[in-house]
Chains A and B, each alone.
Chain A
Amino acid sequence: MNIAIKLLTSTKFAIVIIAVIIALAAFGTVYPGGDAIFGSWLFLPFIGLLALSTVTCSLTRIRPLLRAVMHPKLEVDDQFLQQLPYHTKLTGVAISQFKAHLKGFKWYESTSSETTFVFAQKGRIGRFGPYIAHFGVLILLLGVVIGAAFGQTNPYNDTITVIPVGGSQQVDGFVLRLDSFNVSYYDNGAVREYRAIVTIIDGNQVQTRDITINGPTNYKGLTFLLYGYDSQGVIESGKASWVAFQIKNDTGITLVWTGAAVTLLGIMLSLYISHKRVWIKLYKEQITLGAISNKNVVRFLKNIDNLCAKLEDHS
């Protein structure tokens, strides 16, 4: 049990699972008939394992991170400041001057007898980026699972219905009538467009809609896509006598798109927002300052160094 938890909370193990998924997926594309692997019990458990590892990795890391970021350590000693990538000592500089120059930072302060401790940070949200991205992936996977599980309960999901031109078809409490179907061509004979004009008759409500290859239509949660047509008829007489529509009802799709958007947001936050932190200790007119950033380190430390030099010159 302990080993299982240890494995699931390790990033290395997660990377091994990803490597296995990569190998299986690559195999699936090059081996004849290998694409059957993606829905199989050889592939899916690894996706499940990756999801589980994502959950455990995030859960075990998020609490210490929350504590460190929301309740930062204020009263730090010199030893702590000296091990930071940037640290310096200044005299004759007031803390308020730092506050005026470091824009957008959140400030924390505590005073004990003779020493004042100040801490400032900016870009905390960047630290949560990875967890937001992990959460997004889980929402997405949930959407996929819901789509797969509930799709099967709807009799109309993933069915093909063939309607003769001028004819109609009863679908889930309403009627779909195919008014016309047209194929238009470019000068060189290539197909420009397939367009079906349909009328949805639902009691008193009557609506006419167009369906093209990139333009399916939705009604009452069902999506209608152009699937096929009577090409023989078009070749022989220029007219199709029937059109096939694919009907889809993916209940999980909103979750899939939401998950994808959240994942993207998390990725961008973790890549583009750097968490910058500055500690200042004031003891008898003497300032000890330390700074750190988790990204863009060189530039931030240079900026802090310039600021310190500037403030000391003016004093």
Chain B
Amino acid sequence: MDIAAIERLGFEIALGAYLISSILFILYLSSKKRRLADMGFTLTAFGFAFQTLALITRWFYAGHPPWVNTYEVMSFFAWTIVGAYLVLNIRTDYKSVGTLVAPLSFATLGFASLQPSNPTPLIPALQSVWLLIHVPIVVVSYCALFIAFVASILFLFKDKQLSEQRTLKDKRLLKNRSTEAMRALSQEHTNILDKLSLTQLDDLAYRSVAVGFPLLTIGIITGAIWAEAAWGSYWSWDPKETWSLITWFVFLIYLHAKTQNWSSSLAAYIAAFGFISVICTFLGVAYVLPFLETYISVSTGLHSYAGGGDVAGTVFFCGIVGFVFLLLFMTRKKPPHASDTPLAEATPEVTRVD
């Protein structure tokens, strides 16, 4: 068996494992059976082991770090997200975070599988020690900021759920129901978010930014040092540079919001927008600007990846941004009067639970 085949096999096993674990996590979301989440977690770890094997063999036979062409960068990104997720679970049980991590890893790796997988030789501009340092630092920072986003979204969902529970409780108390109704109410909402408190989620988001933000800073600085050596200018407002600075500024606002004791939900929204900015930096610059360039002649700058600007990439970018906005839309709280009608129907059920 030749070494490229080992890499391919590891890659495909990982892709399959992430797909099945995504399905398990989605089933878990609907059935709330804890075992499904545990299985999803184990399967993700299993896939991670095979992807690690794939990455190492690739490094070995490509002769350069496995983050040069789109296929490699996307695989590496998926690997890092899963790695971050596994590390997160060492001390605290954050398995349910997998409901967002597994599908995204599958989507990223699936997108990688659509790209040409032949190793590309290093072009002169990439022959630098900074390739070894700059790229992984940036990718790890994006992953940390992704975890911050996941924690923020979960925070917003939990916050919404709690406030709905509160209004529900108030109304039922007003209707002077029995204590059984109260007990049933507290059991009604046993789901993934019960294990994690609002403070815990807020804290996880902050800690992830505390890891991701300094790494992003180092990433921008090492990028500037590299640009100075290769292009003779540490900063040229190239779209990639500009978007990385925008991301830096958004998380700078997040950190200032934290010191100002602004509300945690506002901080969560800022972190979510920060992640959209990460996607624009990571994918948008490579997949959307080339389209704009074709139609309305925007400069793509010097950063575009090999193979950038294809349709699959644009679809992938739009899919993820759309998904993020959908999640944000779902976290919005309903105005109080809207919940009036379903409540009247829900009350008779309550008496049955005992």
Question: A and B, one complex?
Answer: yes
A residues in contact (CB < 8 Å) with B:
11-12, 14-15, 18-19, 21-22, 25-26, 28-32, 34-35, 38, 130, 144, 186, 188, 190-194, 212-216, 223, 225, 227, 246, 248, 253, 256-257, 260-261, 263-264, 267-268, 271-272
Q: Is the CB–CB distance between A30 and B229 below 8 Å?
A: no
Q: Is the CB–CB distance between B237 and A14 below 8 Å?
A: no
List the B side residues contacting A227 at CB < 8 Å.
232
Q: Is the CB–CB distance between B256 and A193 below 8 Å?
A: no
CB closest residue in chain B, given A28: B242
Compute how far the CA of A183 lies from the CA of B285 in the bound complex, rounded to whole angstroms: 30
Compute how far the CA of A271 lies from the CA of B122 in the bound complex, rounded to whole angstroms: 37
Compute how far the CA of A246 lies from the CA of B236 in the bound complex, rounded to whole angstroms: 15
Closest CB pairs A-B (n = 10): A213-B124, A214-B128, A225-B232, A38-B237, A186-B121, A29-B239, A271-B210, A260-B221, A32-B296, A246-B232
User: Binary interface profile of B, 49-72, with partner A (CB < 8 Å = 1, else 0)?
Assistant: 000000000000000000000000
Q: With A188-B121, A225-B232 in contact, is A28–B237 under 8 Å at CB?
A: yes
Compute how far the CA of A225 lies from the CA of B231 in the bound complex, rounded to whole angstroms: 8
- Is B320 at the interface (CB under 8 A from chain A)? no
- Is B180 at the interface (CB under 8 A from chain A)? no
Q: Is the CB–CB distance between B124 and A192 below 8 Å?
A: yes
What 5 new A-B contacts, CB under 8 Å, besides A29-B298, A191-B123? A18-B252, A192-B121, A225-B231, A253-B228, A260-B224
List the A side residues contacting B234 at CB < 8 Å.
253, 256
Q: With A216-B232, A253-B234, A264-B217 in contact, is A272–B249 under 8 Å at CB?
A: no
Q: With A11-B260, A213-B230, A271-B210 in contact, is A25–B124 under 8 Å at CB?
A: no
CB closest residue in chain B, given A195: B124
List the A side residues contacting B296 at CB < 8 Å.
32
CB closest residue in chain A, given B218: A264
Q: How many residues of B contact A (CB 8 A)?
A: 47
Whole-angstrom distance between the Cβ of B41 and the nearest chain A Cβ: 25
Q: With A35-B237, A260-B221 in contact, is A216–B242 under 8 Å at CB?
A: no
21 contacts between A and B (CB under 8 A): A15-B253, A15-B256, A26-B246, A29-B239, A29-B242, A29-B243, A29-B289, A32-B297, A35-B237, A144-B235, A192-B124, A213-B127, A214-B127, A223-B232, A248-B232, A253-B228, A253-B234, A256-B234, A264-B214, A267-B213, A272-B210
Compute how far the CA of A15 lies from the CA of B243 in the bound complex, rounded to whole angstroms: 18
Cross-interface CB contact of A271 among B214, B226, B228, B289, cutoff 8 Å: B214
Compute how far the CA of A180 lies from the CA of B335 in the bound complex, rounded to whole angstroms: 75
- Is B299 at the interface (CB under 8 A from chain A)? yes
User: Binary interface profile of B, 115-139, with partner A (CB < 8 Å = 1, else 0)?
Assistant: 0000011111101100000000000
B residues in contact (CB < 8 Å) with A:
120-125, 127-128, 210, 213-214, 217-218, 221, 224-226, 228-235, 237, 239, 242-243, 245-246, 249-250, 252-253, 255-257, 259-260, 285, 289, 292, 296-299
List the B side residues contacting A28 at CB < 8 Å.
237, 242
Q: Is the CB–CB distance between B242 and A14 below 8 Å?
A: no
Cross-interface CB contact of A267 among B121, B214, B226, cutoff 8 Å: B214
Compute how far the CA of A25 lies from the CA of B280 in the bound complex, rounded to whole angstroms: 13
List the A side residues contacting B233 at CB < 8 Å.
248
Whole-angstrom distance between the Cβ of B180 and the nearest chain A Cβ: 35
List the A side residues contacting B255 at CB < 8 Å.
271
List the A side residues contacting B123 at CB < 8 Å.
190-191
List the B side residues contacting A12 at CB < 8 Å.
260
Cross-interface CB contact of B213 among A29, A144, A194, A271, cutoff 8 Å: A271
List the B side residues contacting A192 at CB < 8 Å.
121-122, 124
Whole-angstrom distance between the Cβ of B290 and the nearest chain A Cβ: 12
Whole-angstrom distance between the Cβ of B345 and the nearest chain A Cβ: 42
List the B side residues contacting A35 at CB < 8 Å.
237, 239, 299
List the A side residues contacting B122 at CB < 8 Å.
192
List the A side residues contacting B120 at CB < 8 Å.
190
List the A side residues contacting B235 at CB < 8 Å.
144
Q: Is the CB–CB distance between A194 and B289 below 8 Å?
A: no
Q: Is the CB–CB distance between B246 and A22 below 8 Å?
A: yes
